[in-house]
Structure 1
Amino acid sequence: MIMPEVDNLAPCGIYCPGCIVYKASDNEKLAEKLAENMGVDSDDVHCDGCRAEEGKIDFLSMESKCETYKCVEEKGLEFCSKCEDFPCSRLYTFRNSPQPHNSKMMNLTLMDKKGLDWLMDNIEELTELYYFGDKPHGGDKLEL
C-alpha cells in the first residue's frame, strides 16, 4: 500500500501539486485564467491529483482512465519505474499538456536512485527547480 505522504505523486512520477490544473483547484484567479485559455467554465477547472481522481481527470475531457494509470494498476505497481518495461512509450510527453511531462522521468529516476523518502523530502524544491530553475545551459548541473 502506498504511503499517505506520497498520495500526490502519480504512478507516472508527476508531482500533482506542481501542476497548474491542480493548483487552479484552490486558486479562483488561476482557475478563471486557465478556463479562459481552454474555453471552459472556471467551475470545471478542478483536479485533486491522479491517485485521488483514480487516473481520470474530468477537466481534461478524459473519457476513461489514463492508459499509464491503468497499466500500473493492472500490474499491481505503485510507480512505473517498478515495471520491468520501464521506461516505455506511455511516459512520452504528450501534446497540449498543461505541464512539461518530462518531470515524471526525472522524478521516477531520482526515486529509484535515491529512494522514495529522499524524493518526497525534496519534491517541493525539485519541482521549483524544474519549473523555475535558472540554468544557463540545458546540460548544466543543478545542485540540491
Structure 2
Amino acid sequence: MEFKKELIGKCGIYCGACKLYILKKCGGCSIAGAKCPYFKCVNNKRITSCGECEEFPCQTHYGSMAVYATKFLDWKKGEIEKQTRKAN
C-alpha cells in the first residue's frame, strides 16, 4: 500500500486502511468535507485530528460513521479513566 499524506483523516484514521473509505462510504476529508461529523468538529475546535481532542473518544465515534472498533474505544475510555483516577 502506497502511503499518501492527504489520506490522513480528521478522524485520526489513515483512509487507505479505513473500512468506510475502502467500502466507498467515505471519500476522505478532501471529498466528504463538511458532510463528515469529524471534519466539522475538528475544524470547529481548531485542532488537526480527533487524537488531539480532550473529549476523545466522544459519542461521534460510536455513531454511523464510526471508524474505530467499539472494543478499542471502550478500552481507550477505560485507560483515560484510570489515568484520571491516578492523577486525583
Residue 49 of structure 2: which of 48, 64, 79 is its match?
A: 79
- Cα distance in structure 2, aligned partners of 1:21 and 1:102: 10
How far the C-alpha of 1:93 sits from its partner, in A, is: 5.0
SS at match of 1:55: helix
SS at match of 1:7: helix
Residue 53 of structure 1: which of 11, 14, 31 is its match?
A: 31
RMSD: 3.3
- Cα distance in structure 2, aligned partners of 1:51 and 1:66: 8
How far the C-alpha of 1:50 sits from its partner, in A, is: 2.0
**For residue 9 of structure 1, what is the aligned residue in structure 2?**
8
**For residue 67 of structure 2, what is the aligned residue in structure 1?**
101
Name the count of aligned residue pairs: 69
Unaligned runs of 5+ residues in structure 2 are 77-88
TM-score normalised by the chain length of structure 1: 0.36
TM-score normalised by the chain length of structure 2: 0.53
**For residue 90 of structure 1, what is the aligned residue in structure 2?**
60
Q: Comparing both structures, which one devotes a greater share of its residues to helix?
A: 2
Q: Is the 8 A contact 2:21 2:28 kept in 1?
A: no
Unaligned runs of 5+ residues in structure 1 are 25-44, 57-64, 110-144
**For residue 79 of structure 2, what is the aligned residue in structure 1?**
none
1:51–1:88 Cα change, 3 Å: same
* Runs of 4 or more consecutive aligned structure 1 residues displaced over 3 Å after TM superposition: 19-24
- Cα distance in structure 2, aligned partners of 1:84 and 1:21: 24
